[in-house]
């Protein structure tokens, strides 16, 4: 119960989680689906949200955490407003995804270990084959696909994106 109070104190919008739990009948067998929905809402799985789910579903928080860390679809870290995914599957790698990745990381002062900017604007990740190898190297920014990227082409894309962001 102490964990539950902590989650509530941290002011997460738990009403949304209640709604999701109701939708899935609080059934333990629906845990993955519940976590997927929670992640859809927060864009990641906040620790307090996982604790809340555990308490409400009568599962130990360690088990929920175990499931969340086992599946790569779940992220335990908050993501930036713009999620930049750079494909590093074989086709993209061979056609130069790494220089694109390095250019993007450099621009935002990010690295393999630090993937999100402090202002939560951008997260940069590599992903495996996106199934669009004919367009390699491929970059996806919040579901929009950018084909045949080069460091220069990426610079133009990011300049445009940041300009739009600044203009609000």
Q: Where are the alpha helices (DSSP H) in 24-149?
A: 31-42, 47-57, 61-70, 90-94, 97-108
- The answer to whether 98 contacts ligand FES (rule: CB under 6 A) is no
For ligand FES, the binding residues in 107-126 under the rule CB under 6 A are none
Residue 87 is a binding residue for ligand FES (CB under 6 A): yes
Residues 49 and 13: beta-carbon distance below 8 Å: no
Is 91 an interacting residue with respect to ligand FES (CB under 6 A)? yes
Question: Which position among 4, 133, 153, 161 is part of the footprint of ligand FES (CB under 6 A)?
Answer: 133
Stretch that binds ligand FES, among 22-30, 49-57, 83-91, 114-122 (CB under 6 A): 83-91
**Cβ closer to ligand FES: 35 or 139?**
139
Q: Strands (DSSP E) along 70-152, which ranges?
A: 82-87, 122-127, 139-141, 144-146
Q: How many residues does the chain have?
A: 168
Residue 88 CA to residue 96 CA, distance in Å, equals 9
**Which positions lie near ligand FES, rule CB under 6 A?**
87, 89-92, 129-133, 136, 138
């Amino acid at each position: 119960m102490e964990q539950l109070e902590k989650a509530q104190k941290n002011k997460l919008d738990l009403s949304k989680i209640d709604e999701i739990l109701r939708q899935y009948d609080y059934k333990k067998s629906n845990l993955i689906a519940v976590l997927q929905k929670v992640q859809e809402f927060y864009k990641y799985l906040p620790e307090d949200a996982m604790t809340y789910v555990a308490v409400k579903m009568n599962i130990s928080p360690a088990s929920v955490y175990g499931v969340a860390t086992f599946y790569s679809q779940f992220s335990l870290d908050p993501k930036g407003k713009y999620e930049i995914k750079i494909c590093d599957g074989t086709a993209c790698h061979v056609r130069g995804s790494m220089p694109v990745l390095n250019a993007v990381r450099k621009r935002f002062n990010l690295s393999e270990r630090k993937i999100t900017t402090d202002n939560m604007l951008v997260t940069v990740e590599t992903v495996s084959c996106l199934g669009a190898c004919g367009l390699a190297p491929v970059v996806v920014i919040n579901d929009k696909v950018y084909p045949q990227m080069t460091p220069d082409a990426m610079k133009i894309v990011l300049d445009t994106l940041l300009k739009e962001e600044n203009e609000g």
